Structure 1
Amino acid sequence: MKKTLARWAVDVWYKDAFLGILLLPFAYIFSDIVRFRRYLYRCGVLKSHTLPVLVIVVGNITVGGTGKTPLIIWLAELLKNSGYKPGIISRGYGGQSDAWPQIVNENSDASKIGDEALLIAKQTGLPVVVSPSRVDAAKKLLDKFDCNVVLSDDGLQHYKLNRDIEIAVIDGEQRFGNGYCLPAGPLREPISRLSSVDFIVVNGNKYEDNEFSMQLVGDTVINLSTGELKPLQEFRGIACHALAGIGNPERFFKLLESAGLLFTTHSFPDHHPFSRNDIEFGDNKPVLMTEKDAVKCTGFNGENHWYVPVKAVPESAFGQQLLDLLLTIQAQRI
């Protein structure tokens, strides 16, 4: 049912303009509520919390994945290599923990704390704390770990937490769909919201002068059972299965296609809780998946299951401008 609704929503938001128009009255109500809520935070009616350290929020204005998680991992490495001590907070989307906030490590259960948070913890080795309240997550992070920069995975609309820098990530292929707010379109906030962020990063090719491009690259595969690493090219000419439970599965399939692979596609909703039946197809063909999906399949995978790790590669000017802005903000606080 969830899979069917997700496909219907994608059709309405990105393909069938007529259905979106029918839902426009609800979209206008939604956007007015969003604007009014933000106004209440700006004028102090709704209270925001300011942390004693720098806060960088990486989010988007559309529903679904845009490539935030790979960018968070890249940013964490950039900050660490530049002398900062970053920690990461996240909502822990999809996590079913009985208590929040939760500290995440590479041995955490994805079903409890969410797939993205587990992937970030595995990739960065940095402190990660998750909670539906990012303020609570940040407080626990700073209480338990020595951090001087907090990276918030998503949370652009979580105004209860004040931020020093906002980074909006856009899917370069889908952009803003029909340009309408929910439920008529995919927008969480009107497109005009982008005029107030500090950086706009496009996952793919940029369209505007104020945007920075970012590419996701991956040319290796890793076996879930053995940890064996192979070049992706070794799977050329072999019939495979490819599965993805991410915001834009087509992006993963196009990566495999560009490498010359032949495969049958299997799409799932973002954050899908995988089971053995989802990744077994009655044959022994190789099954390729994203790393985000792989963290939820350990324990019931076979030796024919592989994942394709990807890395974010933003244009060089983005990293330098971000570090310059951080230094400026720090100087203003002294």
Structure 2
Amino acid sequence: MSIPWLLRIVSGKQKGPAAALVRVGLWSLTPIYRFAVWFRNRQFDTGSRDITSVDAKVISIGNLTTGGTGKTPMVVWVSQLLQRNNLSVGIVSRGYGSRDDQTPNDEALELLSRLPAVPHVQNPDRVAAARSCIEKHSVDAIVLDDGFQHRRIGRDLDIVLIDASNPFGFGNVLPRGLLREPISSLKRADIVVVTRCDRVEADMVLATRRRIAAETSAPIVLARTTANSLFQHKNSEATTTDEPTEIPIAKAHSGRWFAFSAIGNPESFEASLAELQLDVLGSIRFRDHHHFDDGDLRKIVVAAKQAGADRLVCTHKDLVKISRESIGDRPVFALKIDFEIFEGQEEIEQAILDLFATLKALE
């Protein structure tokens, strides 16, 4: 069962008796999942499961749904805010999709390229990871990537991201929908950030805000993504292509592009390319966190040639895994995405920096 097909099932786009039968099956499993989530949260709420504090401020960035909601750009944004205010920061994440315990996953590689001075510790045991980061790097703050459901580690601020283009996972928890836990869990959030507001009409953003406000009194912040250029991986050795390292979108319109991705929300990436009016002649999607092998790269090049494309475009997360400036004779670029908070920025900045008021007073 492929992921795209399953998404068509849960969204209701896939029609026919077989699709209806699968939806019934998923419905039958949903109460089991919902009970398991309720029981686990109840244990933490009542104190029957311990919440462990660490010797640094912990800022959790998470979401309610599976798939991409913009957590990595938010991690970058928070980390850079802390750096600008002379606070040392480390990142902790599970490391989902890594080849082994010693190899960073694609998200860690992307964060390394964007935040080279920020230590990043990956470990399924987030408490152990945070303690290791604090001990080795003496950080003031831990940014906990994808931490909303990982309740064993205490946090000082819970930031929850909601994707405006599919805010509530088709209205159902897993496996019938994409919600990792019910919408009512937003009551645990300290701040809710609605991402990708540029992907939908203003009335849909307003409806999402109202739905969130019905569950929590937490501040609601609005964010969007912008793309102004494409960039290329460069080896330390002499480059093998005449293409520049970075090209503005305006100059990219002359190319014939073929897109590929292995991310949680490929629709958003492809929508960005369409909005930028790039001449994209075809695309291939791989499973989130997929590790590209030589066979995959050959498949991409063959498909690009068949489509008549002379350039390849992917996401930053994909490019750091490939670590090359071309695949075959096709140069490969990544779309440079910038994250912008356009409503509520002052409020979220203040909430974050207030955590360190005592520390600043002692300096």
| Residue in 2 that maps onto 1:108 | none
| Residue in 1 that maps onto 2:266 | 249
Cα shift at 1:149: 0.9
Any conservation in 2 of the 1:176–1:186 contact (CA below 8 Å)? yes
Cα shift at 1:78: 1.1
Any conservation in 1 of the 2:94–2:125 contact (CA below 8 Å)? yes
Amino acid at match of 2:46: C
Q: 1:221 to 1:31 in 2, by over 3 A?
A: same
Of 315, 325, 328, the residue aligned with 2:351 is: 325
| Residue in 2 that maps onto 1:39 | 42
Counterparts of 2:311 and 2:263 in 1: how far apart (Å)?
Answer: 20
Amino acid at match of 1:208: R
> TM-score with structure 1 length normalisation?
0.88
Amino acid at match of 2:111: I
* Structure 2 spans left out of the alignment, 5+ residues: 15-19, 198-204, 211-218
| Residue in 2 that maps onto 1:289 | 314
Q: 1:330 to 1:230 in 2, by over 3 A?
A: closer
Any conservation in 2 of the 1:276–1:300 contact (CA below 8 Å)? no
* Structure 1 spans left out of the alignment, 5+ residues: 100-111
Counterparts of 1:191 and 1:262 in 2: how far apart (Å)?
Answer: 39
| 2:333 equivalent to 1:306 | yes
Q: Which has the larger Rg?
A: 2
Cα shift at 1:117: 1.2
Runs of 4+ with deviation above 3 angstroms:
16-22, 299-303, 326-334
Cα shift at 1:80: 1.0
Any conservation in 1 of the 2:109–2:321 contact (CA below 8 Å)? no
RMSD: 2.3
**SS of structure 1 residue aligned to 2:172:** coil
What does 1:90-109 align with in structure 2 at a 5 Å threshold?
Answer: 90-98=93-101
**SS of structure 1 residue aligned to 2:290:** coil
| Residue in 2 that maps onto 1:193 | 185
| Residue in 2 that maps onto 1:7 | 4
> TM-score with structure 2 length normalisation?
0.81
**SS of structure 1 residue aligned to 2:344:** helix
Of 49, 59, 62, the residue aligned with 1:59 is: 62
Deviates more, 1:269-278 or 1:186-195: 269-278
Amino acid at match of 2:349: L
Report Cα offsets for 1:96-120 as digits up to 9, x if no partner.
Answer: 2245xxxxxxxxxxxx221001111
Cα shift at 1:312: 1.0
| Residue in 2 that maps onto 1:239 | 256
Cα shift at 1:196: 2.0
Amino acid at match of 2:347: Q
Cα shift at 1:64: 1.0
| Residue in 2 that maps onto 1:208 | 209
Counterparts of 2:169 and 2:115 in 1: how far apart (Å)?
Answer: 32
Amino acid at match of 1:281: V
What does 1:49-198 align with in structure 2 at a 5 Å threshold?
Answer: 49-98=52-101, 112-125=103-116, 126-198=118-190
State how many pairs are aligned: 318
Counterparts of 2:50 and 2:278 in 1: how far apart (Å)?
Answer: 52
Counterparts of 1:296 and 1:328 in 2: how far apart (Å)?
Answer: 37
Counterparts of 2:295 and 2:246 in 1: how far apart (Å)?
Answer: 25
Any conservation in 2 of the 1:24–1:180 contact (CA below 8 Å)? no
Higher relative contact order (CA 8 A, sep 6+): 1
Counterparts of 2:331 and 2:140 in 1: how far apart (Å)?
Answer: 42
Report Cα offsets for 1:48-98 as digits up to 9, x if no partner.
Answer: 210121101101111111110011111111111123211111111111224
